[in-house]
Amino acid sequence: MLCQNCARGLSAFFKSSIVSRTVQNVAVKRTFTSLTPLRPTIFPSAFRTSTPVNASAAVVGEGVQVDLALAPFKMSTHPAMEAMQVRCAPRNTFNPSHFVRKRRHGFLARLRTQSSYDSSIITMHLSRLLALSALGVSVGLGLDLSRRTTAMIDVLWNVSNIRMENTLRSSGAVFSFDITDSAPAPQGFNTSCSYWNATSIYLPDNLPDSVNCTDLSVSFSIGMYNQKYFLFVHHEYGYCPNSQHKGYSCQDYGQWYFSADDVEGQVLDVRNDNGHYSHFTRDYIMMNPDRDIEVQVPFQY
């Protein structure tokens, strides 16, 4: 028969071996369930039982459980796993050579250069298109402004400081007046008109015909019709598409008649005289011009 101490030693030995096998199975399962693509090497574990072989099984079991719970996840506790590589794991062995890396770098550089070149070309074309479109819009607006129909305002012409006079016992005659259109430009104007004739003996001689005023868009004429003097004023301006004149410019006409007796006055017949003297002045008259196109804005009194 074995003694009591021998029996305790055998039971402790067998129990410690059983615990070691259990730990081995657990360590192997934990190791192979965490495979990595870099094929890691399992190094010997630092786990060692600090309890002697003849220690009690209960103490050994408690030490194994506590140390195993605190051990790293990928560490093995069995000596058989020392210096052993994990098989069947994904491998990452791509290591391009120096020339392959240079070719790849050159290809990517060309791609980047080509993409930047394409973007610059596209930007250049877009800028050209924008410039051309802006030029077209500006030209179109310019043509539209130059050919925009002029709005007509029905206003009267104020003719003032009218003077018709010839020189007594000599040659010469003068015709002058001021005229104003109170409408905004280009319809409106304010100018002076005058004409001097050094050859006229009588007032009806050599009357002014289509003489420009200070404002060159305004011209005037003075003549006789049916024993009456008439003052004719013409104004050309703007753009009127319905006009029958060349260039579709707007044409305004104003006309006023004076009696011959009013203009010539009393005839002074003197023997051996050159003729009679005529002197006519008028402070102002209101002339209603004829518009070349239909009036779009009525006159506000």
Check whether residue 285 and residue 161 sit in a common domain: yes
Mark the ranges of the chain whose per-residue pLDDT is less than 70.
1-118, 136-152, 169, 242-247, 265-276, 292-301
φ/ψ of 15, rounded to 5, equals -65, -40
Same domain, 106 and 174: no
- Does residue 301 form part of some domain? no
Asked if residue 90 belongs to a domain, the reply is no
In this prediction, residue 135 carries a pLDDT of 72
* pLDDT score for 276: 65
Whether residue 169 is contained in a domain is answered as yes
10 and 116 co-located in one domain = no
- Model-level pTM? 0.47
User: Angle 16-20-21 (CA atoms, 0-180°, nearest 5)?
Assistant: 120
Q: How many domains does the chain have?
A: 3
pLDDT of residue 279: 79
Q: How many CA atoms lie within 13 A of 33 on its CB side?
A: 7
Residue 297 domain flag = no
Domain-terminating residue out of 146, 167, 182: 146
Looking at the structure, tell me whether residues 130 and 176 fall in a common domain: no
Q: Are residues 81 and 100 in the same domain?
A: no
CATH of the domain at 219: 2.40.350
- 271 within some domain: yes
Q: Which of 85, 114, 129 is the last residue of a domain?
A: 85
CA dihedral 146, 147, 148, 152 (to 10 degrees): 100
Domain span at residue 128? Answer: 95-146
Are residues 265 and 183 located together in one domain of the fold?
yes
Asked whether residue 212 is domain-assigned, the answer is: yes
Tens digit of each residue's pLDDT (9 = 90 or more) over 19-37: 555 545 544 444 444 444 5
Q: Which of 85, 111, 137 is the last residue of a domain?
A: 85
| 77 and 103 fall within a common domain | no
Structure confidence at residue 56 (pLDDT): 47
pLDDT digit string, tens, across residues 222-254: 988 888 889 999 998 887 776 666 667 888 889
| Residues 136 and 182 both lie in one domain | no
Tell me: do 221 and 285 sit in the same domain: yes
Residue 122 lies in a domain: yes
59 shares a domain with 123: no
Unique residue bearing structure tokens 């009806």: 204
Angle at CA of residue 286, ends 281 and 291, nearest 5°: 130
Residue-wise pLDDT for 91-106, tens only, equals 665 566 666 666 666 6
- pLDDT reported for residue 232: 94
Is residue 250 situated within a structural domain? yes
Residues 78 and 49 sit within 8 Å (Cβ to Cβ): no
User: 204 near 224, Cβ under 8 Å?
Assistant: yes
